[in-house]
């Protein structure tokens, strides 16, 4: 059995709560000891000329390349929000080879540019499917986006494949998450192990369950929200850390609940 550690983190474009301080260098130093195999990043900046001029410690490369450092040989980026001085979106960092990837537009209105980044990595000779997304602030839009992600899974992920769907779901009422689980047969790691979604927002007093790590076709071993210092200083969200075990060649009886 291969063990895989997954981190999902809305890094708030590298800024602390309230955009008071640029924290990306310190965040990078704290991320390394987690020893993640896969990192799902939301609100990661690909380029920002305005911030680069005003912050002396702004990296010369994209934020996801900076966080990848020497630890992650592979990374992919889905550009979602594009503006005059730059762009940001979702990214996946991986210690394992990326076989293919694409970014799918799941925007539902002109105010929010959202995407679902689908990436396939090879671990132990088996394909593992990863989907990273940051959903809408509006509940009706979130349900539409869940349907779009469901179609992605139906069309592109073979039945029974190890699959991880993580990100910032903005689903504080839990309605979209419940619909997602029911329609696709996926489980949330924290709900399975702890009986409830992880509280991850705001980082200084986490009350809302915005961030999720869903999975299917693999074993969930452990799940933890990184409360307290130093994480409370880095972003308005807390990172979620989940350990999985992948038994390749074993059929977990996955049923996405969709017609094929």
Preceding omega of 19 cis (within 30 degrees of 0): no
Domain that holds residue 12: 2-246
Distances from the Cα of 203 to the Cα of 30, 38, 61, 156, 239, angstroms: 15, 22, 27, 34, 9
- Return phi, psi of residue 139, to 5°: -60, -45
- pLDDT value of residue 180: 85
Name the pairing type of β-strands 126-134 and 240-246. unpaired
Whose CA is closest to 167, among 237, 80, 233? 237
127-175: pLDDT as tens digits: 999 999 999 999 999 999 999 999 999 889 998 899 999 999 999 988 8
Residue 25 included in any domain: yes
Label residue 196 by pLDDT band (50, 70, 90): very high
CA-based torsion, 32, 35, 39, 43: positive or negative: negative
CA angle 115, 252, 213 (to 5 degrees): 35
Q: How far is Cα of residue 127 from the mean position of the Cα atoms in its chain?
A: 18
Residues 6+ apart with CB under 8 A from 56: none
Q: Per the domain annotation, does 257 fall within a domain?
A: no
**Is residue 158 domain-resident?**
yes
Count of structural domains within the chain: 1
Tell me: the pLDDT tens digits for 200-218?
999 999 999 999 999 999 9
| Burial class (CB within 10 angstroms; exposed 0-12, middle 13-18, buried 19+) of 172 | middle
Q: Is 260's pLDDT higher than 90?
A: no
Strands 126-134 and 163-168: parallel
Which pLDDT does position 249 carry in this prediction? 53
What pLDDT sits at residue 2? Answer: 81
Adjacent-strand bridge partners of 79: 89
> Strands, E, within the chain: which ranges?
2-10, 38-48, 74-83, 86-94, 98-105, 115-123, 126-134, 163-168, 187-188, 211-216, 219-225, 240-246
CATH of the domain at 163: 3.60.10.10
Position 178 in a domain:
yes
**pLDDT tens for each residue of 234-256:** 999 999 999 999 876 554 434 33
In-domain check, residue 160: yes
Q: What is the pLDDT averaged over residues 4-29?
A: 95
Q: Chain-wide mean pLDDT for the chain?
A: 91
Nearest to 226 by CA among 201, 244, 246, 255: 201
Contact (CB, 8 A) for 116 and 58: no
Say if 259 falls within a structural domain: no
pLDDT band at 184 (very low <50, low <70, confident <90, very high): confident
Instruction: Kindly state whether residue 170 falls inside one of the protein's structural domains.
Output: yes
* Total number of residues shown for the chain: 260
Q: Are 63 and 48 in contact (CB under 8 A)?
A: no
Residue 252, in any domain of the structure: no
124 secondary structure, DSSP code: T
Tell me: the pLDDT tens digits for 42-82?
A: 999 999 999 999 999 999 999 999 999 999 999 999 999 99
pLDDT band for position 113 (cuts 50, 70, 90): very high
């Amino acid at each position: 059995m291969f063990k895989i550690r997954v981190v999902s983190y809305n890094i708030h474009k590298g800024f602390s709560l309230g955009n008071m301080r640029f924290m990306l260098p310190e965040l990078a130093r704290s991320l390394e000891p987690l020893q993640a195999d896969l990192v799902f990043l939301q609100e990661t900046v690909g380029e920002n000329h305005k911030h680069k001029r005003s912050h002396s410690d702004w990296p010369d490369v994209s934020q996801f390349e900076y966080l990848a450092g020497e630890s992650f040989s592979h990374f992919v980026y889905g550009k979602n929000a594009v503006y005059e001085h730059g762009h940001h979106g979702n990214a996946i960092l991986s210690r394992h080879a990326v076989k293919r990837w694409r970014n799918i537009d799941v925007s539902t209105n002109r105010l929010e540019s959202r995407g679902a980044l689908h990436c396939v990595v090879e671990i132990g000779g088996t394909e593992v499917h990863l989907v990273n997304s940051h959903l809408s602030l509006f509940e009706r839009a979130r349900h539409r986006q869940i349907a779009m992600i469901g179609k992605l899974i139906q069309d592109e992920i073979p039945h029974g494949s190890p699959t991880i769907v993580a990100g910032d779901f903005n689903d504080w009422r839990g309605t979209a998450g419940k619909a997602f689980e029911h329609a696709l047969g996926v489980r949330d790691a924290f709900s399975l192990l702890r009986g409830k979604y992880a509280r991850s927002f705001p980082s200084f007093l986490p009350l809302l369950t915005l961030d999720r790590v869903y999975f299917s076709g693999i074993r969930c071993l452990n799940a933890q929200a990184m409360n307290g210092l130093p994480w409370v200083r880095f972003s308005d969200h807390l990172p979620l850390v989940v350990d999985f075990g992948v038994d390749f060649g074993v059929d977990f009886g996955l049923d996405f609940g969709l017609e094929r």
